[in-house]
Amino acid sequence: MDLNKIKINRRELVRLAGLSAGGALLAGCSGEQEVAAAPQGIVGKDGKRVLPWSNWSGNQSCQPASRLVPKNEEQIIDIVKQTQQRIRCVGSGHSFSALVPTDETLMSTARLRGVNKIYPETMEADIGGGSRLSTIGEPLWEQGLAMVNMPDIDTQALAGALATSTHGTGATLGSLSSLVNGMRLVTASGEVIECDKDSELFNAARSNLGVLGVVTQARMQLRKSYHIQETSWMMPLEEGLEQAESLRDSHRHFEMYALPHADYILGITLDEIEADAVEERTSETGDAYETFKTISNVIDWLPFMRSFIINTAAQTVEKEVRGGRSFDVFSNLRDIRFNEMEYSIPAEHGPACLREILDAIKKNDIDVIFPLEYRYVKADDIWLSPFFQRDSCAISCHNFHDRDYKQYFAIIEPIFWKYEGRPHWGKIHTLNHAELMARFPRMGDFLKVREHLDPDGKFLNQSLKQAFGLV
C-alpha cells in the first residue's frame, strides 16, 4: 500500500467512524464492550406491546411501562394530570448520559414540531419543542431569518437541546439556551406557564434537564439570514495550540479537531460572507470508506506504526473551502454511532488542557484515533449551564459505540477536573451530587425551583435523583 496516495478531506475526518461500519473498526480500537440482547418489549395495561427504548449510541436503554406520543399540548396536559407514574420526556435520544431511561412513562414530544409563529419586528420565532433542529432552517430562511448559531449535529429535538445547553462554537456566541426569550412549560400539576425574561423561572428553565415540566414551545431569538464560508486546513499540533486564541478572536467561529497519537490538528473557521461570494468545495471528496478501511487494516496489522500511519494520512489533508446558507454549512453528517464525554473549562486554559489530554493518550497508549473536538462558547447567566458566568472552551472525547469507552474516559476525566471543568449534562461523566454542586454555583437555587414546581418528583428518574442528592 502506498500511504502517500491517501487523501482525506475535512468532512471525512469529522465523520471518521462512519467509514468502518460493519467491518474492522478504525485504528486498532480494543476491548469490545459487551452489549446485552435487546429486550422484546412488554404488554402494557391496554393490552398493546410496549417496545423498549435506547438512545442513539445504544449506551442507554430502558423498558418503560408505557410510551406516549401526544398530538398536542392539550393531550400533554391530560397525561400529566391523569398519570400516576413518573414521566420522562424524550426527543431524538442523542444524549449519552442517563437523562431519559425510566421504567414508568416515556413521552415523546415529536408531534409538537414546526415554526409556529414568526415575529418579524423582533426577529423571534415560536418553535415547537419537538422540532428537530434540521427542520428549522428552511422555513426561517423563507422569511429572511436564521438561527444565530447552531451546533454541528442538527438531529436533536429543540427542547432536548435546550435542556442540556447544546452549543456550537464562537467566542462571542452562547449556547442555544442563551438564545431563548421565552418558553411554554406544562408543570407537574398540569398548569401551563409562560416563562419569559420577566419570569423568576427564566434562568432555571432555559437549561432544565427535563425536570421542571414538559417544554412544548420555545421562543428563539433569530437574526437576518446570512451565508457563511467554512475553511479547514491541517496544521502542526503545536502551531494549532499556539494560534488557537488568535484564530478564535479573528473569526466568527473557530474550532479544532485534534488527532490522538499524531502531530497534527485540523483547524476550522467560519465567517460571514455575501451570497455572491459563496465558494463551492475546492477539494476532491474521494472514496472515504476505502481510505479509512485501508488505514484501519494497516494499523490492525502494524499497531506499532500507529502514529506514523496517522501522521502520514494527516499530511494528505488538503485545505478545503466551502460556503452556503448558514444552516446548511453548520451541520455535519454523523452517521456512525459513538459515545462522548465533554467538559467545559475556562477559555484561557483550553490549549493547556487539550495538550495534557493528548499527552495522556500517548502515555497510556490508549487505542483511539477518534478526533477530540475543541470549541469556544460565550458565558451566560443560566443556572445549570456549563458556561455560567464563564467564557469557556468545550473539549469532547469520543469512542465508537461498540467499544469500551470507560477506560479511556476514566483516564481523561481527572484532567478536566484539574482545570475546573463542568460536564455537559447530555454527555458521559461520573460526578456525584456533591461534586456537581461544587461546579454549578446556582444548582441549589435550581433545586428549590424544581421542588416548588414538582414536589412529588413526577419528572425525575433514578439517575437525576442521584445527581440532585435525593437518594
How confident is the model at residue 401, as a pLDDT?
A: 81
Residue 273, H or E segment: strand 264-273
Q: Of the segments 20-34, 357-371, 380-394, which one has the largest average pLDDT value?
A: 380-394
Q: Which of 205, 165, 203, 202 is nearest to 382 (CA)?
A: 203
How confident is the model at residue 174, as a pLDDT?
A: 98
Fold for the domain defined by 3-30+226-423: Vanillyl-alcohol Oxidase; Chain A, domain 3 (3.40.462)
Among 156-170, 274-288, 348-362, 380-394, where is mean pLDDT lowest? 274-288
How confident is the model at residue 300, as a pLDDT?
A: 62
Between CA 374 and CA 182 the distance in angstroms is 30
Grid cell at residue 383: 443556572
Between CA 455 and CA 462 the distance in angstroms is 16
Task: Please state which CATH number belongs to domain 42-108.
Answer: 3.30.43.10
CB 375 within 8 A of CB 167: yes
CB 28 within 8 A of CB 366: no
How confident is the model at residue 315, as a pLDDT?
A: 84
What's the chain's average pLDDT?
88
Q: How many beta carbons lie within 10 A of that of residue 301, not counting itself?
A: 9
The domains of the chain are located at: 3-30+226-423, 42-108, 115-225
Mean pLDDT of 278-290: 48
Which tens digit of pLDDT belongs to each residue from 201-231?
999 999 999 999 999 999 999 999 999 999 9
Which tens digit of pLDDT belongs to each residue from 110-135?
999 999 999 999 999 999 999 999 99
How confident is the model at residue 323, as a pLDDT?
A: 94
How confident is the model at residue 251, as a pLDDT?
A: 98
Question: Tell me: domain 115-225, CATH 3.30.465.10, correct?
Answer: yes
On the question of a common fold for 3-30+226-423 and 115-225, the answer reads no
Q: Of the segments 270-284, 361-375, 386-400, which one has the largest average pLDDT value?
A: 386-400
Residue 381 per-residue DSSP state: -
Q: How many beta carbons lie within 10 A of that of residue 277, not counting itself?
A: 10
Which alpha helices (DSSP H) does 274-322 contain, by range? Answer: 288-301, 306-314
CB 100 within 8 A of CB 148: no
Whole-number percent of the chain with pLDDT over 90: 74
Between CA 194 and CA 375 the distance in angstroms is 33
Which tens digit of pLDDT belongs to each residue from 431-463?
999 999 999 999 999 999 999 999 999 999 999
Mean pLDDT of 135-161: 96
Residue 72 CB-half CA count within 13 A: 2
Taking 80 as the threshold, does the pLDDT of residue 334 lie above it? no
How confident is the model at residue 47, as a pLDDT?
A: 79
